[in-house]
A and B are shown apart, each in its own frame.
Chain A
């Protein structure tokens, strides 16, 4: 069964460094999402992406964040200058069509020191 994959599974970085989190959505999916979960808290929406552009972003998704679909398969989240409070689990999700279920990747655990 096709699944969403994410790399790396864990990343440790120093405050102020740039990180790129990578996702490979399910191949025939057209809608892509990033969510964040700070330890012990609920899952929060960051950004949605469709047709090579952002369709919605949350207030968390400030100028330090960017997303890109550099080729036909990858979907990346870049944090330009990480802060301590960016430490969280980051989930990528995708779906094929409108109104369909989103399927999540296994997440990337980011720790900013």
Chain B
């Protein structure tokens, strides 16, 4: 079974600075997808970014980018120019290709952006 580990329960960053959230995963599969979801205090789950394992290029979405290291099974999220609205729980998630393609989540990292 796949597992996802987020080793940082909480992090904080000053507004406008850069922060990196860590995620590692364990799988024996070769075709899979990785995601970062954001959960603000409203508890809505919002997709931040997605990475296909077969792609070597790291995904980028505006201020959000990932560092995907397939051999190390590492998938970190970098937030540049942090904004107060980035304050949220961030969940790393794994999806195996094939079957039900359910998401397997990590325990989350609570990020606080300070003014």
Contact = CB atoms under 8 A, between A and B. Distances in A.
Real binding pair? yes
Interface residues of A, number: 26
Interface string B70-81: 000000000000
Given A101-B47, A104-B44, A35 B101 contact: no
Contacts of A95: 101
A48 interface: yes
B91 interface: yes
A102 interface: yes
Contacts of B100: 48, 50, 55-56
Interface in A54-113: 55-56, 89, 91, 93, 95, 98-99, 101-104, 106-107, 109
Nearest to B97: A99
Interface of A: 31, 33, 35, 37, 41-45, 48, 50, 55-56, 89, 91, 93, 95, 98-99, 101-104, 106-107, 109
Given A89-B43, A91-B45, 11 more contacts: A31-B101, A37-B43, A43-B91, A43-B93, A43-B103, A45-B104, A93-B103, A95-B101, A98-B97, A107-B44, A107-B45
Contacts of B30: none
Contact of B105 (A31, A42, A106): A42
B107 A41 contact: yes
Interface in B72-115: 91, 93, 95, 97-108
B108 A42 contact: yes
A45 B46 CA distance: 17
B47 A103 contact: yes
Contacts of B43: 37, 89, 106-107, 109
B64 interface: no
22 contacts: A31-B101, A33-B102, A33-B103, A37-B43, A41-B107, A42-B105, A42-B106, A42-B107, A43-B91, A45-B103, A45-B104, A48-B102, A55-B99, A55-B100, A56-B100, A89-B43, A99-B33, A99-B97, A99-B101, A101-B50, A106-B43, A109-B43
